[in-house]
Amino acid sequence: MSDAPADRTDSGTAAGKAEGAGFLDRYTTRALVAGVTVAAVVALLIAGLLFPDSIAGTLSDALTSRNTLAAALRLSVPIAFAALGGIFAEKSGVINIGLEGLLIISAFSAIYVADLTGGVWVGFAGGVVASTLLAALFAVVTIGFRADQIIAGLAVWLIALGLAPFASQVIYGSPNTPTVATSPSITVPVLADIPFFGALFSASPSVYMLFAAVFGSWYVFERTAFGRWIRASGENPKALDTAGVSVTRVRYAAVLISGVLAGMGGAALSLDLGQFTGNGPTMVNGKGFIAIVAYLFGNYNPVGAFLSTMLFAGLDAVQTVLQLQGIGIPRQLIRITPFVVVILVLALVGRTRLPEAAGEHYETEE
């Protein structure tokens, strides 16, 4: 495994340098985007402080409102969980574009099981199981039968997009389920009273689970042998194979983990509201695709993915607050801002360096 990077520096003199420069280039664009965002927010806050009656004042009020942070955290949960799942799969070399489908199927199953058993946490587990099963199907199709990952991922999305409203219609007679009980939020005394940041300490259990998952994923990738295997499986599967670790098994494990994580996100999404709505693009409504952009922008780093999710979700939260205050931007246009931002981010950051072997089938050599 260790001679792989050495090999690359040997062979690629000019090409290697060009790639390095390109990477640096992209890296600085990324930093630039982040920097500009922070600068814009700071400028807005100062302007708001100076002219509290202007639109900047309203905006900075919205930004510093504790409700905004609480809403951003809540909106982050499904996207960030799916993004973490996407990191696991893609780092191992399997591009999982079906995250949207995993979110949909788990969102529905969680409500169904919760309704059946009366237990919110049983429902949560049900959602995770459903998503993991669908991810297992995806794994068999792409790893076992070497199907094209993008097309198979698209199929996973479309199957879930049909199956969840179909099941809801069969069971409840409508694409929307009835409402079930939700779990109360957990409040840490004293800390929850801090202005703005208090929202971090008075949130639904899924928010805390997300924090744990972000840290856990980071720990797995940075500190464990399994994390190194996943990376090797995506960057240099041959080396991993030579080292005696089965690439196929590592990839199966990674895709299943992506199913578990996306399942947690989908279950949290629907159980937070106590209902699954399955009309049109369903309640998931593109969150799985935004998750993909979030981890690309976060450069496959769990913490980075979480922060970029917070950026998208924060935007969404600010627009909700603004809507409530009746700012004169039409609702339909505000709603598409996250999608526009995603395109702008992609256009500025351009291609993130995918794992070397992502999208390729790996054939074990005996």
Partner 1 sequence: MSAADRARDALSRLVDASATERILISTAALVLSVLIGAVLVLVAGRMTTCTAGEAVYYFGTGFCYDPVVVFDRLFLGALGDPFSGSWSPNGQFAVTLRESTLLLFTGLSVALAFRAGIFNIGTQGQMVVGALATALGVLWASSLVSGTLGTVVLIPFGLLVGAVFGGLYGAVPGLLKAYADANEVITTIMLNFIATGVALYLVSGIFKDPNSAANQTVPLPEFAQFPALLFGGRQDFSIVALLFGLLAVGALYYVLEHTAFGYDVRTSGVQPEAAEYGGVDAKRTVVASLTLSGALGGIAGAMYVMMVLGTFQTGIPAYGFDGITVSILAGNNPLGVGIAALLFGVLKSGTTVVQFATDVPPQLVGVLRGLIILFVAMPEFFRLLARGLPGAGSKPKAVATDGGTDGDRGGEADE
Tabulate helix, strand, coil % of the chain (nearest 5).
Answer: 75, 0, 25
Contact 318, 327 (CB under 8 A): no
Task: Identify the CA nearest to 34 among candidates 301, 358, 333.
Answer: 301
Residue 292 near partner 1 by CB under 8 A: yes
Verify binding: residue 325, partner 1, rule CB under 8 A. Answer: no
Where do we find the tokens 């001679």?
A: 3
Which of the ranges 54-62, 119-127, 201-209, 336-344 carries the binding residues for partner 1, by CB under 8 A?
A: 336-344
Q: How many CA atoms lie within 13 A of 92 on its CB side?
A: 30
**In this chain, which stretch among 124-132, 195-203, 298-306, 357-365 interacts with partner 1, using CB under 8 A?**
357-365
Site map 121..160 versus partner 1, x via CB under 8 A = --------------------x--xxxxxxxxx-xxxxxxx
Which of 129, 184, 173, 168 lies closest to 277 in space, CA to CA? 168
Pick the closer one to partner 1 by CB: 156 or 256. 156
Cβ contact 117:123 at 8 Å: yes
User: For residues 32 and 340, which CB has a smaller minimum distance to partner 1 in the complex?
Assistant: 340
Q: How far is the CB of 230 from partner 1 (least distance, A)?
A: 17
Among the listed residues 208, 286, 301, 327, the single contact to partner 1 using CB under 8 A: 286
Which residue is it, tokens 């609480």?
A: 70
Nearer to partner 1, 218 or 297 (CB): 297
- Site string (161-190) toward partner 1, x via CB under 8 A: xxx-xxx-xxx---x---------------
User: What's the closest the beta carbon of residue 210 comes to partner 1, in angstroms?
Assistant: 23
SS3 state at 236 = coil
Least separation in angstroms between residue 47's CB and partner 1 is 28
Is 12 one of the binding residues for partner 1 (CB under 8 A)? no
Q: Is 27 in the site for partner 1 (CB under 8 A)?
A: no
Other beta carbons less than 10 A from residue 122's beta carbon: 14
Sole binder of partner 1 in the list 5, 12, 52, 280 (CB under 8 A)? 280
Q: Distance between CA atoms of 223 and 190, rounded to whole angstroms?
A: 34
Alpha carbon distance 360, 366 (integer Å): 19
Binding map of partner 1 across residues 39-78, x = CB under 8 A, - = no contact: ----------------------------------------
Virtual torsion, Cα 62, 63, 69, 75, nearest 10 deg: 80
Smallest distance, partner 1 to C-beta of residue 354, A = 4
**40 residue type, one letter:** A
Q: Is 332 in the site for partner 1 (CB under 8 A)?
A: yes
| Stretch 75-114 residues interacting with partner 1 (CB under 8 A) | 97
- Our CB check for partner 1 shows the closer of 159 and 194 to be 159
Q: Which pairing describes strands 202-203 and 186-187: parallel, antiparallel, or unpaired?
A: antiparallel
| Cα dist from 270 to 14, 112, 123, 236, 355, whole Å | 51, 10, 10, 38, 32
Q: CB-wise, 29 or 67, nearer to partner 1?
A: 29
The alpha carbon of 104 is separated from its chain's Cα centroid by a whole number of angstroms, namely: 13
The tokens for 319 are 């627009």
What are 348's strand-pairing partners? none
Q: Are 110 and 270 in contact (CB under 8 A)?
A: yes
Contact with partner 1 (CB under 8 A) among 124, 252, 276, 289: 289
Question: Mask: binding to partner 1, 198-237, rule CB under 8 A, as x and -?
Answer: ----------------------------------------
- When computed from its CA atoms, the radius of gyration of the chain, rounded to whole angstroms, is 21
Q: Under the rule (CB under 8 A), what is the footprint of partner 1?
A: 97, 141, 144-152, 154-163, 165-167, 169-171, 175, 280, 286, 289, 292-293, 296, 330, 332-333, 335-336, 339-340, 342-343, 346-348, 350-351, 354, 358-360, 363
